[in-house]
């Protein structure tokens, strides 16, 4: 059993908008354990729509279309699918009354093509549209592929999918097997390195499966187990995670979809009742912006400094001008002083500092990407580490911020803080 998703709309082929519907539907189908093999996108062109639909029906068990259910002359999805299935369109009277009422309430005349929005393919289930006017369709066929037709505007599509279509698909395609997934999040290791270290596990994978995915500053592994019960699946996932942890556990910082390294660090600080501050030069406030992006950050973060110019490192933080003159802005000494002075000024438990060269130009003879990150704390010795990020300006800054969180994460793991 596998599905295919087709988005319909010329505006997406012109690059005016991104198709987010196909992602949303894919995510929902993944929850149901329905495999998706293809996404396609086609314009509001009858001939090419017919071609894409007949290809999809030939190679997939379920074809899901979004878009082209509206009232304008280029909305043709329902008509083309009906012709392909050799069925006619019939009127959903409840939906038609809703459309009439909509136009009456606005004192506008209902044009004939608005009525099309209330029509569905004969033999299909008409799916109500809670936030719009065009009904959806689910057509089950005993021989060929099944069809699900959804509206194009994302809020209409998402509402209809969640409220009506997804439960309908769940009951239609009951699986005897249960699917369980676990997402592992890694920082400080590249995708190719991670995959190399786990090569034999990845080669052997059958159940659970292992899918690596690299984002700009981190890598995730999605483990997916299939079995008769949730308990059986969790056991399979536990066993595999244990093997993975034995090799690359030091880079594993968290689990789940919406759980970034900043969120994990802020949560750990909160649990321990610790506070943090920062002085930022090349990152220009990005670290503090990332901390305060987490709801409830005020429990751990009172504030900090953006000391972009050398003079502000002296004025705001009170760093000795001689020290900066002697060692330079991009130096271990300056990074340490920034962290220590910030700790003293804000009276927090920990303070980070960022100083370096975002680029594209070099600074003080150091190439772009050279970054010192300092860490001071009430109960730990001050340290500073040197990094060399070989990327463009935006990614150098981003990598510095994420490495700051990683340095904090490691410090929190290794040191037994006492209040």
Strands (E), 92-208: 119-121, 125-127, 136-139, 146-150, 178-186
Q: Is 94 in the site for a copy of itself (CB under 8 A)?
A: no
Q: Does 390 bind a copy of itself (CB under 8 A)?
A: yes
Indicate which single residue of 168, 172, 205, 391 sits in contact with a copy of itself (rule: CB under 8 A): 391
User: Which one of residues 30, 89, 179, 252 is an interface residue with a copy of itself (CB under 8 A)?
Assistant: 30
x/- track of binding to a copy of itself for residues 231-250 (CB under 8 A) = --------------------
Nearest 5°: phi and psi at 351?
-145, 135
Residue 125 Cβ vs a copy of itself, minimum distance, rounded to whole Å: 23
**Cβ closest to a copy of itself, residue 11 vs residue 325:** 11
Q: Which residue has tokens 């220009």?
A: 284
Q: What is the DSSP letter of 274?
A: -
Question: Reading across the β-sheet that carries 350-356, which strands appear in turn?
Answer: 276-280, 350-356, 370-377, 380-388
Give the interface segment with a copy of itself, choosing from 8-16, 139-147, 162-170, 247-255 (CB under 8 A): 8-16
Among 93, 192, 207, 229, binds a copy of itself (CB under 8 A): 192
Q: Judged by CB under 8 A, does residue 186 bind a copy of itself?
A: no
Q: Of 262, 286, 260, which is closest to residue 358 (Cα–Cα)? A: 286
The closest of 131, 140, 141, 136 to 164, measured between CA atoms, is 136
Interface residue with a copy of itself, options 77, 137, 346, 355 (CB under 8 A): 346
Distance CA 139, CA 84 (A): 12
Query: Exposed, middle or buried, 323 (CB in 10 Å: 0-12/13-18/19+)?
Result: middle
Range in contact with a copy of itself (rule: CB under 8 A) among 103-111, 119-127, 242-250, 259-267? 103-111
269 touching a copy of itself, by CB under 8 A: no
Q: 36 or 135, CB closer to a copy of itself?
A: 36
Residue 212 near a copy of itself by CB under 8 A: yes
User: Which stretch in 60-68, 242-250, 331-339, 383-391 sits in contact with a copy of itself by CB under 8 A?
Assistant: 383-391
Q: Are 291 and 401 in contact (CB under 8 A)?
A: no
User: Which 282-341 residues touch a copy of itself, going by CB under 8 A?
Assistant: 282-289, 291-293, 295, 297-298, 301-309, 311-312, 315-316
358, 375, 376, 384: residue in contact with a copy of itself (rule CB under 8 A):
358
Q: Per CB under 8 A, does 123 bind a copy of itself?
A: no
Name the minimum Å distance from CB 98 to a copy of itself. Answer: 10
Burial 400-412 (b: 16+ CB within 10 A, else e): bbbbbbbbbbebb
> Considering beta carbons, is residue 126 or 288 the nearer one to a copy of itself?
288
| 37 lines the binding site for a copy of itself (CB under 8 A) | yes
Binding of a copy of itself by 207 (CB under 8 A): no
Q: Judged by CB under 8 A, does residue 255 bind a copy of itself?
A: no
Distance in angstroms (rounded) separating the CA atoms of residues 201 and 297: 39
Phi, psi of 311, deg, nearest 5? -60, -35
Q: Does 345 bind a copy of itself (CB under 8 A)?
A: yes
Q: Is 400 in the site for a copy of itself (CB under 8 A)?
A: no
Closest residue by Cα to residue 54 from 119, 137, 147 = 147
Q: Hey, what are 266's tokens? A: 């802020």
Residues 6+ apart with CB under 8 A from 195: 202, 212
Instruction: Identify which range of 108-116, 119-127, 265-273, 370-378 contacts a copy of itself by CB under 8 A.
Output: 108-116
Q: Does 271 bind a copy of itself (CB under 8 A)?
A: no
Residues numbered 49-68 forming contacts with a copy of itself, rule: CB under 8 A: 52, 55
Of the candidates 416, 397, 158, which has an alpha carbon nearest to the alpha carbon of residue 280?
397
The correct pick among 105, 143, 171, 246 for binding a copy of itself (CB under 8 A) is 105
CB of 96 to a copy of itself, least distance (A): 15
Please tell me whether residue 42 binds a copy of itself under the rule CB under 8 A: yes
State the DSSP code for 217.
S
Count the site residues for a copy of itself by CB under 8 A.
Answer: 102
Per CB under 8 A, does 23 bind a copy of itself?
yes
Distance CA 232, CA 229 (A): 5
Nearest to 175 by CA among 135, 239, 227: 227
């Amino acid at each position: 059993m596998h599905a295919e998703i087709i988005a319909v709309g010329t505006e997406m082929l012109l690059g005016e908008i991104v198709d987010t519907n196909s992602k949303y539907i894919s995510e929902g189908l993944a929850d149901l354990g329905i495999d998706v093999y293809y996404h396609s996108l086609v314009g509001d062109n009858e001939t090419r729509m017919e071609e894409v639909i007949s290809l999809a029906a030939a190679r997939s068990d379920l074809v899901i279309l979004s878009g082209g259910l509206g009232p304008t002359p280029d909305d043709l999805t329902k008509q083309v699918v009906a012709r392909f299935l050799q069925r006619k369109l019939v009127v959903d009277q409840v939906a038609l009354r809703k459309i009439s009422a909509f136009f009456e309430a606005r004192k506008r005349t209902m044009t004939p093509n608005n009525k099309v929005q209330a029509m569905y393919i004969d033999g299909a289930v008409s799916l109500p549209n809670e936030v719009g006017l065009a009904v959806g369709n689910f057509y089950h066929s005993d021989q060929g592929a099944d069809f699900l037709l959804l509206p194009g505007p994302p809020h209409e599509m998402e509402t209809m999918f969640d409220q009506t279509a997804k439960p309908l698909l769940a009951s239609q395609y009951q699986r005897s097997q249960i699917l369980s997934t676990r997402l592992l999040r890694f920082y400080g290791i590249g995708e190719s390195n991670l995959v190399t270290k786990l090569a034999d596990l990845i080669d052997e994978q059958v159940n659970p499966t292992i899918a690596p995915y690299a984002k700009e500053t981190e890598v995730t592994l999605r483990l997916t187990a299939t079995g008769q019960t949730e308990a059986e699946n969790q056991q399979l996932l536990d066993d595999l995670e244990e093997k993975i942890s034995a090799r690359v556990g030091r880079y594993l910082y968290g689990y789940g979809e919406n759980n970034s390294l900043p969120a994990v660090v802020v949560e750990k600080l909160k649990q321990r009742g610790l506070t943090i501050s920062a002085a930022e030069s090349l990152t220009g406030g990005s670290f503090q912006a990332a901390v305060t992006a987490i709801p409830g950050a005020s429990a751990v973060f009172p504030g900090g400094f953006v000391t972009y110019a050398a003079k502000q490192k002296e004025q705001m933080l009170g760093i000795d001008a001689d020290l900066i003159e002697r060692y330079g802005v991009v130096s271990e000494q300056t990074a340490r002083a920034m962290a220590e002075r910030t700790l003293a000024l804000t009276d927090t438990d920990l303070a980070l500092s960022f100083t370096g060269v975002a680029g594209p130009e070099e600074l003080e003879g150091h190439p772009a990407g050279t970054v010192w990150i300092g860490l001071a704390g009430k109960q730990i010795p001050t340290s500073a580490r040197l990094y060399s990020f070989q990327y463009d300006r935006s990614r150098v800054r981003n990598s510095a911020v994420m490495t700051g969180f990683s340095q904090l994460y490691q410090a929190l793991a290794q040191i037994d803080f006492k209040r």
